[in-house]
Amino acid sequence: MSTLNRDLLDATTRQILNRASDLMRTQGRALLTPELALIALLRMSQATAARMVQHFAVQRGFVVADLEREADEQSRTRPGRSANFTYMTDQNVPAPLSDEMLVVLDEARAVALARGEIYIGSEDVLSALAQTGVNTAGMLQRRGVTAAAISALAEQGLVSKSTTTHDWVAAARKGALQPVYLREQLLQQLSMLLAHVNGRNVFLLGVKGVGRRSLVQGLAFAIAEGRGPRDIARIIEVSEAAWLDNPLLAMQVALRQAEGGALFIPNVQRFFGRAETQAMAQASRELQRAIVDGGAIVIGTTSEAEFNERIRPISAIADRIKLLSIPPASADECVGMLRVLDPQLERDYELVIQDEALVTAQQLAARYVGGEPLPAAAVQVLHRACALKRSGAATSPAPLIVDQDAVMQAVSALTGVPVNKLGADERAKYAQIDDALRQRVLGQDEAVRALARAVKSARVGLKDPKRPIGSFLFLGPSGVGKTELAKALAEFLFGSEDALVAIDMSEYQKDDTINRLIGAPPGYVGYEGGGQLTERILKSPYAVVVFDEVEKAHPRILDILLQVMEEGRLTDGQGRVANFAETVLILTSNLGAQFLNDGALELVQANDLAMVDVRGFFRPEFLNRLDDIVMFRPLSPEVLRRVLDLMIVKEAKLAAARGIALQITPIAREWLLAQNNEPHMGARPLRRILQRNVREKLADFLLDQAAPPAQVVVDVAAGVLVFR
């Protein structure tokens, strides 16, 4: 005896058959018949079919209980014949089906498929009972419950019904499709590609969040208004739940529904290459056969990397597909999209969004929010701003307002950038950049000036908008402030040293290390993890990137850096584009350090000799992409004294956080400076000296005290440091 495939039934229909099985056993019957199914259906008041019968009862003046009583009488007098099919209940109890019941279920599936569903719903069972059930058809039809009446009731929308597919064009005509911003140029290109007489399948290439789906929805509006491509009357999309539950049936239904129109499949690459399940493999074959045979017009979305890996190698498919690249939205397009979305957000969150907030959301999202392109990043910011405003609202009759401040709070929450940095007056801020950097980087005024010039020029718009804010090569001996200047710049620009991306290029000396930097291509180990550089910039495109000891990197790595400096973008292994237009690139090198560290050489002479080293190592095209080559000189004794003072301030802050006022006398400071027997190493030895002689010995001193002191003075006695 065969078993009925339960995957063909929706949850409600399974419950109906479960209850019919219970009735069968209660009555001592051997078979599950249509009459038992009708009784179980009528007793499930929440089922769509039961609500339909109630509607007909009111409209046509009959009593549902009388219908149930008649079905019960027929059930007891007509045993039925076995169909050699069994239904397994949710409790794995077998219920043999009568041949009439099997015919009813077969008809119900045909009804479901005809209305574009892959599952048999309760309304499909009711329609089949009214058509093919030997006794149930008569009972129902005498009361005006016919298949035609059931279909008409469903079309009127008086009762809800399950949906596997959605026709966007029909929804647009009814006003049920969410409005979208029309990118007219892209819409014209898509319409033109779909107007071809052959190979009318179009795959939209782009990363998630650039608006591929919205473009197809815009096409649906155009078709509804009579402006679409010829012979496309509908655009069908399958629900993701249907793809997950039964991809084969979903594909069969979708292709049937899309006749005379187009089938929209997001993430279409999942139907190419290795399938995870047999049903998925069968669905893939159905789709590919339809594309090759011309049995469907398919509009799919995928990324360039996924297309190249999974679809392009199948020449029979690739030859029948036209490609349309979808770039991220421009600033104006993004604001337009937010304005279209505005009414929906105001309804959903019950607040008012100022127009200035939309512009600010676009600007700050483009500048600070990584991981998603425009418009997705700006939409994310706006949702966060609305959610924060709603969650923090007190009970008040006054309307909630999302303004620029609310957007800045949202961006701060998403990125960690302090709000005061986001809202600072940019003109006044950048006018003071030289002074701000000099407070942390001592003795390198020339380097500070060079860096400040480039940053100020970029901020007032005097730079190529595609290239990074600036690309610099920092030359000089160790410990003279190269990394410290990069940290100071990160804090000045972005409010935190965490905006510094430091990459040690000594780890990239081999050819195969390039995957660690930009991510492995699809199919290779580590593909999902992304690259050390690209992943960070995708998440936070507003950063200072330091490539330390760049001369140690493999030549292929230098070629990548050349591309970043010139084009301001880098494609990772997954095909995502990291944008470096809002980054500062700093390359550090010890090339020429021996000359810059030679106190016997004049400044100009030392610089010239250092440049000889640099030009002998880097190719001219690489050097030409740099905005400046910044020379760092050794630190003078006076500068080292000031650097020590800055370090002592940090130590005092650490002690103050523990309730101790730390004071280091001038004599103790001179003693610490005298311990530096490596002045050519710059400021780094001073940090070690302070660690060993102050921090570690202070810890020992505090452990010896009966109670923590309020103040500790570090002084010199008999040639050694003392603590009191």
412-468: pLDDT as tens digits: 888 776 666 666 556 677 778 888 898 888 888 888 888 888 788 766 666 677 888
Its pTM surpasses 0.85: no
Mode of pairing for the β-strands spanning 720-723 and 94-98: unpaired
How far, in Å, CA of 450 to CA of 471, rounded? 11
Q: What is the pLDDT of residues 67-89, one digit of tens each?
A: 999 999 988 887 778 878 999 99
Is the CB of residue 681 less than 8 Å from the CB of residue 634? Answer: no
More confident call, 50 vs 393 = 50
Over residues 21-50, the mean pLDDT reads: 92
**CA proximity to 381, closest of 352, 348, 345:** 345
Over residues 241-253, the mean pLDDT reads: 83
- Using CB atoms within 10 A of its CB, is residue 163 exposed (0-12), middle (13-18) or buried (19+)? middle
pLDDT band with cut points at 50, 70 and 90 for residue 592: confident
Over residues 552-556, the mean pLDDT reads: 91
Over residues 699-717, the mean pLDDT reads: 88
pLDDT at 264: 96
Kindly tell me if the per-residue pLDDT of 158 is higher than 60.
Answer: no
Could you please report the per-residue DSSP string of 402-464?
Answer: E-HHHHHHHHHHHH---HHHHTS-HHHHHHTHHHHHHTTS-S-HHHHHHHHHHHHHHHTT-S-
Looking at the DSSP bridge assignments, the partners of residue 630 are: 474
Is the CB of residue 128 less than 8 Å from the CB of residue 111? Answer: yes
Kindly tell me if the per-residue pLDDT of 371 is higher than 90.
Answer: no
- Mean pLDDT is highest, among 218-222, 622-626, 657-661, for 218-222
Over residues 172-196, the mean pLDDT reads: 92
Kindly tell me if the per-residue pLDDT of 616 is higher than 60.
Answer: yes
How far, in Å, CA of 575 to CA of 307, rounded? 10
For residue 21, what are its two tokens? 């099985």
For residue 681, what are its two tokens? 């190493």
How far, in Å, CA of 45 to CA of 50, rounded? 5
Helices within 540-636 (DSSP H only): 555-567, 593-596, 603-617, 620-624
Q: Which of 364-378, 461-475, 571-585, 595-609 shows the lowest mean pLDDT across its residues?
A: 595-609
The average confidence (pLDDT) of the chain is 87
Q: Which of 239-248, 278-287, 298-307, 683-692 shows the lowest mean pLDDT across its residues?
A: 239-248
pLDDT at 154: 77
Over residues 151-160, the mean pLDDT reads: 68
- Mean pLDDT is highest, among 164-168, 263-267, 413-417, 478-482, for 263-267
Residue with tokens 């440091």: 721
**CA proximity to 689, closest of 674, 664, 677, 672:** 672
**CA proximity to 480, closest of 591, 631, 600, 608:** 631
Kindly tell me if the per-residue pLDDT of 159 is higher than 60.
Answer: no
Q: What is the pLDDT of residues 274-287, one digit of tens each?
A: 877 888 999 999 99
pLDDT at 160: 47
Is the CB of residue 245 less than 8 Å from the CB of residue 162? Answer: no
Over residues 10-18, the mean pLDDT reads: 91
pLDDT at 413: 86
pLDDT at 368: 78
Instruction: Report residue 699: phi and psi, to 5°.
Output: -60, -45
pLDDT at 515: 84
How far, in Å, CA of 723 to CA of 513, rounded? 51
pLDDT at 198: 79
Over residues 336-345, the mean pLDDT reads: 95
Q: Which of 167-171, 424-428, 697-701 shows the lowest mean pLDDT across its residues?
A: 424-428
pLDDT band with cut points at 50, 70 and 90 for residue 186: very high
Q: Which of 173-182, 389-398, 466-475 shows the lowest mean pLDDT across its residues?
A: 389-398
**182 half-sphere exposure, CB direction, 13 A CA radius:** 15
